Amino acid sequence: MRLSEYVEYDGTALASLVRAGEVTPLELTRLAREAHDEINPHINAVIELYDDAETVAGSDAGLFNGVPFLRKDIGATEAGRLQEKGSRLFKGHLPNTDSYFFCRAQAAGLRTIGRTTTPEFGSTVMTESILNGITGNPWNLEVSAGGSSGGTAAAVAAGITPIAHGSDGGGSIRIPAAWCGLVGLNPSRGRVSGGPNNQDASNGSSREFVLCRTVRDMAAALDVFSGPHPGDPFIIVQPNRPYVEELSQATGRLRIGVARTSWGALNLDPEVLRAVEATATLLQEMGHTVTDMEPPYEPVEYSRLYLAPTTARLLEAAARAMGRTISADTLEPVTLKRYEFSRDLSLFRAVNIEEALRKMRFCVGEAIHAFDILLTPTIPIVAVPHGGIYSATNPTVSAEQYAEADTAICQYTGVFNVTGQPSVSLPLAQSASGLPIGIQIVGRFGDEATLVRVARDLEEARPWRHWRPKVRAGNS
């Protein structure tokens, strides 16, 4: 198999070729290395390609048998492999535990061959850090790949691997999926275990999953990574059938709520609005009932959740564990300001944040109860140039300014981290300048099955396979 052929296949197709004996896992790993060597110097998406990548373990069975895979440098861990979380504070950190996520990846036949960039602690929508530099968007290297799973998104979009690990605490899978032209699902709270060390992370708002290019890879990944483990705080309703079987099931007629207005302080880009309207029209033509909906929450309530006193406590504990001090030498400028701001907040404020989370879940639940799914922009604007107010490396941005800007740009994504509902960004449109525009579909809690079916319908009606980023392996 040539590199130009490798990049055309999704993970499901590559695994089929392995099962048929047409290619071996070793050959796929070597092709991934070839793609990395050709492309990564341009996009800076992969921090480390493992020296022993060609001998990493993986099942000789499973839905993704033999498929190369990458790990985002925060969240789920591999024992004995570096996890530096995009931060100088964690430089050289070696976890001693394999997360259930990567145990499942190995059992499914995925070969994890390296790790991808993330902003410091995965806390911004731009993947750039003092530790690892700037990750470029394969569609246009002058603009951001998004964050915090931006390294993963850039690597998959550019063809290094067809699927890779991401995590999402406020849009960190869906935003880079939207800006890099990928499929990015944030599953329901509890669908993918964070065990054994990180169950129900960040009060249930942060979840692990993948970014990929096709809906069928998304469905297969749900079958691979879903399922409870001992010690999980609760057991979510389990699916009626494997998610890959949902790809052949009828969708039925749905009640769809459409967001055509801003849900925050950042206005909706006209090109993004047109993409939402075109998708709404398409869904209506498919026989669904489409109704405009009002913003389901008050933006000021959401922004208050971003400056929590727990930030200081967690950073202080991390510094002690690493034997380092918190300073401008270990933290990004904005992270340091957030630490200083949150250090002075009271425990009473922490209790208030818990109540704010509860209230937000309740109010949003009531506001959207009449709909089976929601249709929204993934992010209100197309990809922006590197730096600026969204970057944690910017020394001129205050903690308050950062919180306001971040909640504004995450206005359609972060709310569903709070509520726990599943949501997926699909690459259904492009801007006049050729940048991807993601459209978000949100399901009821625990109902990834409906999202799989609707996403399949949209992929078939408005296929995106023919769209190609400018920077892509095998083009030379």
Query: Which positions are catalytic?
Result: 72, 148, 172
Q: How many CB atoms lie within 10 A of CB 300?
A: 11
Per-residue CA distances from 463 to 7, 105, 384 (Å):
17, 28, 25
Q: How many CB atoms lie within 10 A of CB 32?
A: 30
**What SS3 state is found at 418?**
helix
For 102-258, where are the E strands, in sequence order? 111-116, 128-129, 133-134, 136-137, 140-144, 163-168, 183-186, 207-212, 255-258
Name the DSSP class of 236: P
Task: Give dist(CA 394, CA 401) in Å, integer.
Answer: 11
State both tokens at 212: 């990929």
Task: Give dist(CA 215, CA 458) in Å, integer.
Answer: 10
15-21 own/partner pairs: CB under 8 Å, 24+ apart: 15/62, 15/63, 15/64, 15/65, 15/66, 15/67, 15/109, 18/65, 18/66, 18/67, 18/109, 19/65
Cis peptide before 196 (omega within 30 of 0): yes
**What SS3 state is found at 429?**
strand
- Rg of the chain over all Cα atoms, to the nearest angstrom: 21
Q: How many CB atoms lie within 10 A of CB 20?
A: 8
DSSP string, 198-218: -TTGGGGT-EEEEEESSHHHH
Task: Give dist(CA 328, CA 209) in Å, integer.
Answer: 32
Is 375:440 a contact under the CB 8 Å cutoff? yes
The residues, ordered by sequence, that sit 6+ positions from 476 with a Cβ below 8 Å of its Cβ are 38
Would strands 423-430 and 436-443 be described as parallel, antiparallel, or unpaired? antiparallel
Name the DSSP class of 192: B
State both tokens at 337: 């300001």
Task: Give dist(CA 84, CA 151) in Å, integer.
Answer: 14
The residue assigned the tokens 């208030």 is 352
Task: Give dist(CA 458, CA 461) in Å, integer.
Answer: 5
Task: Give dist(CA 383, CA 178) in Å, integer.
Answer: 9
Task: Give dist(CA 408, CA 397) in Å, integer.
Answer: 15
State both tokens at 363: 């109010």
